Chains A and B, each alone.
Chain A
Amino acid sequence: MGGGRGASVNAEVQYEPVIGLEIHVQLKTRTKMFCGCELSFGDPPNTHTCPRCLGLAGTLPVVNAQAVHYGIMIGLALGSQIAPRSQFHRKNYFYPDLPKGYQISQYDVPLCSGGQLGEVRIHRVHLEEDAAKLVHLGASGRIHGAQRSAVDFNRGGTPLAEIVTEPDLRSAEAAREWLSLLRTTLRAIGVSDVNMEEGSLRCDANVSVRPVGSSELGTKTELKNMNSFRFLAQGIRAEVERQSELLRAGQPVLQETLHFDPSSGRLTPLRSKEEAHDYRYFPEPDLVPLEATPEMIEAARAQLPELPSARAQRFAGALGLPAERARDLAFRSELADFFEAALAATPNGEPVALANWMQTLVERLEDGADPAGSLVSPAAFAQLVAMVSEKAISREAGREVLDMLVAQGGDPAAIVEREGLGAISADDGGLGDVVAAALASDPDAAEQVRAGNMKAMGPLVGYVMRETKGRADGAEINRLIRQQLGI
């Protein structure tokens, strides 16, 4: 056991996290995995059930072809091998949210094996059915000790794809970022809502630590219940810290499953009884092996859109965006879509300028909001950026116009006209007069600038900006100050 290495007490050792993720994704099919009930979210309890998903005696599962199609799309998006024949198994355990007493899942022959997304290798992707939802009434909030527990079978049988990575992640932040890439990828291919708060994306993490430089894996723990990106990073950080402290203190890490409580930031072990399962997997005799034919695989491939990682490469390559900016846009499909729509609306659009202004736009929207849902149209946005690039308005005025677009929508040119935000230039004489007034108003600063102290430029530029209500171009003001001071 890798944990044994902790026996030598050494407070100096630096530990490196080794993290793998297990992600459950609810597929956005019309019906459940093994019956014809429609998927639902938020409907009254037990209104989407049938003899099959209630586990009534004598019922048999029938595989949902759309779920298989989505599973293959996921596999292709992650570069996995699609098994020509995969097998469903029964995973046996008793729990009230599991009406048959077993979950139909895949075991030794999953639908998809191998693959890679970003820097992380994919171990496997398999299909299974979701459990029902338990509601516990009582102080504990858990089934043991609950006064009453109720089961809502609406969710039971929802198709799930379980995606398992190799332990290739080395920090909590990297795990969070990679999960974001995965979410974008799954959203882009349209197989899931991938909403962590609603539970359509759920992530468990396998975490171990090892001394930096070691290639041996330490004892891992499994972290559950990290139902937001923030909690995922918090939970992993807390666990890495906990394991490192144990090892530094010469104590072993125990292999266990931990529950992360985001309110306290604490990790508590699940009762050993709850995790000490022998699932007694065996091939599901009610289903024939799942055949993924070349036709099915081609049909799935034909439906794949450009994937976020490819899009980021295109933004960086063909459009010349800095790599990080390209990823920021491409890994949020809604931003990339808006960006591309704006680019298409500009005859000689400058991608780099547009991308920079995208960041400004995102800052002005609510956290995580889709700009397509705002009052700013891609065309108006593109026009605004072009006006700044052509120096028809100053950068500062551009920001003001953007604020107004976000607040009310409309046409940027009309806003500039209405608000009198057009750039003042030396050509029409106005700006030169304002600069002269600025020099006259603060002779000290003017003298310092003349003497070479460029810091004194600030108050002079500020004066001009104030007087022109930000319509003057900063570079132009600079030029005129130098010109009038003769430097």
Chain B
Amino acid sequence: MSQHLLELSAAQAVAAIRAGELDAAELFELYRSRAAADPLNAFTWVAEDAAVAAPAGAPLAGVPAAVKDLFCTEGVPSQSGSRILEGYRPPYTATVVAKLAKAGAPLLAKTNQDEFAMGSSNENSAYGPVLNPWDRARVPGGSSGGSAAAVAAGLAPWALGTDTGGSIRQPAAFCGIVGLKPTYGACSRYGMIAFASSLDQAGPLTRDVTDAALLLRHMVGRDQNDSTSLELPEEIRLPSRGDLKGVRLGVPQELTGTAGGIDPGVLASFEAALAQAQALGASVEPCTLPHAPHALSAYYIIAPAEASANLARFDGVRYGLRVAGDSDLDTMYSRTRAQGFGAEVKRRIMLGTYALSSGYYDAYYGTAQRVRTRISQDFQSAFAEVDFIVTPTAPTTAFELGAKSHDPLAMYLNDVCTVPMSLAGIPAISIPCGLSDGLPVGLQLAGPAFSENALLDAAYALEQALAFDGRSAWAGGGAPA
């Protein structure tokens, strides 16, 4: 029976519950027990009790969601992967999580992540690395690695993640699932423990594109608690498109090809997917994003700059870790932060602090903002010619644990294809497009701001044609091998 339930996508489970063919409590218990036996270290907290029954007629019918640790959840540990927030239970719940609960998707578990969402491998978590269900010697990607691994391994029906420079899309690609970063402002950031405020966006990590659309539909909307949130021009629809006739796909030369550092196996899979797209009626043409090669540099100024301020509140005064300072305030600050933050977080706080300091601001932060504007303009020009930009989601497949953890620059290159869209604030989705040496490869589709419905439609059509089967990862979520 449980194998049968596991076969159901989240949307199918919703339909089955609403049709009276499935008991939501049974589904919750299935996933709760699987999550509790998690062999991947994907979770930092798992519900102990059955969920409160979803309200009658709730659109998500009680299909529970795993939620990245950095979403504040009232009374439930919300530690953002950091030692400095160990055991911290916020007195309030993030807007997006509250909206999902109201729509009938209760909280199943909190998922492991890179500390404060800073990382591309999940090795930066203070609570240990997450393992990739396709190969437990490999990373799941990051920073939403716990969410991606949980969904891929069948430990959660679907999950929430956040994406700042690729933190939903890259782990989705590494774990062979779907990950969507919406238009900046589509989802409220209220209650998301901030990494980089002008880039952070919540989004779904799901088994398929339909699940992503269904979950996203209940996440989006203007929230008066977040001044930067926006109302989408139309409701998110479930995708139904069967072909790609008339769709123009642009392949940016700067982000593809081996010159861009893309692994040959990834490239082969990507090109095979493009051929499928053409078979569905799409045109595939080269396009250019001239400033994209500077995106990573700009990103690694802007994101750390904002983070250096966002993380200042973790000072040992009001909540979280405090290390005594022998009656001296500055000593208390420095000891607390020295012990509470991990190496990558400290690196970025220092980078950001430096970039904002007097005399360097314009050369670093100012220049980075100008590059960001140019990148947005590049996309606008490109979208005058094509409907969507397509790239591999990440230059490689999942790498081995420890392979890059001592080489920050190599690690940062993971985000080379995803960061430009983050800087431009535009929506992008990663779908699995094949395997390379037995590991999933992700394909990224990006569209103009607020093109979520069209993007989901195109991704859905391609998904049907590619017919990727991720079920072999479920075993990875079973008992330790």
Contact = CB atoms under 8 A, between A and B. Distances in A.
Nearest to A54: B318
A286 B197 contact: yes
A285 to B, nearest CB: 4
A280 B318 contact: no
With most chain A CB atoms within 10 A of its CB, the pick from B193, B314, B329 is B329
Interface stretch (B83-91, B129-137, B142-150, B378-386): B83-91
Tell me whether chain B's interface is mostly helix, strand or loop, or mixed.
Answer: loop
A211 to B, nearest CB: 32
Interface string B315-352: 10111000000011100010000000000000000000
A151 B318 CA distance: 9
A443 to B, nearest CB: 86
Interface string B202-230: 00000000000000000000001111100
B357 interface: yes
A54 B190 CA distance: 15
Nearest to A279: B358
A94 B80 CA distance: 22
A57 B227 contact: no
A149 B71 CA distance: 32
Interface stretch (B1-9, B23-31, B304-312, B451-459): B304-312
Given A62-B224, A62-B227, A101 B312 contact: yes
A454 interface: no
A285 B365 CA distance: 13
B302 to A, nearest CB: 9
B356 interface: yes
With most chain B CB atoms within 10 A of its CB, the pick from A51, A60, A92, A102 is A60
Given A56-B91, A280-B358, A92 B309 contact: yes
B283 interface: no
A309 to B, nearest CB: 37
Given A99-B318, A144-B329, A58 B313 contact: no
Contacts of A147: 327
A288 interface: yes
A90 interface: yes
Contacts of B244: none
A57 B333 CA distance: 17
B405 interface: no
Contact of A101 (B94, B309, B358): B309
A96 interface: yes
A60 B190 contact: yes
Contacts of A55: 313, 318
Contacts of B365: 282
B361 interface: yes
A103 B107 CA distance: 34
B200 to A, nearest CB: 9
Nearest to B334: A94
Interface in B78-114: 78, 80, 85, 88, 90-92, 94
B225 A57 contact: no
Size class of the B contact interface (CB-based, 8 Å): 35 or more
A280 B91 contact: no
A328 B92 CA distance: 54
Contact of B309 (A54, A56, A102, A144): A102
Interface residues of A, number: 34
B315 A285 contact: no
A143 B329 contact: yes
Contacts of B225: 60, 62
Interface in B190-204: 190-194, 196-198
Given A57-B72, A59-B190, A60-B189, A94 B315 contact: yes
A168 B220 CA distance: 53
Contacts of B70: 58
A459 interface: no
B345 to A, nearest CB: 14
B85 A57 contact: yes
A135 to B, nearest CB: 14
A55 B189 CA distance: 15
B353 interface: yes
A286 B306 CA distance: 10
Contacts of B92: 51, 56
A282 B309 contact: yes
B93 to A, nearest CB: 10
A324 to B, nearest CB: 48
A278 B92 CA distance: 34
B312 to A, nearest CB: 2
B315 A56 contact: no
Contact of B190 (A58, A99, A100, A144): A58
Contacts of B358: 278, 280
A61 interface: yes
Nearest to B188: A60
B312 A94 contact: yes
A90 B196 CA distance: 14
A259 to B, nearest CB: 18
A51 B190 CA distance: 11
Contacts of B357: 278, 280
A267 interface: no
B74 to A, nearest CB: 10
A254 interface: no
Please list the 5 inter-chain residue pairs (A to B) with the smallest Cβ-Cβ separation, ordered nearest first: A101-B312, A285-B197, A285-B198, A280-B356, A57-B193
23 contacts: A51-B90, A56-B92, A56-B318, A56-B319, A57-B193, A57-B194, A58-B70, A58-B90, A60-B227, A62-B224, A96-B315, A96-B317, A96-B329, A102-B312, A149-B329, A278-B357, A280-B308, A280-B309, A280-B361, A282-B306, A285-B197, A285-B228, A286-B189
Given A99-B317, A280-B357, A286-B228, 11 more contacts: A54-B318, A55-B313, A56-B313, A57-B72, A57-B313, A90-B309, A99-B313, A101-B309, A280-B308, A281-B361, A288-B228
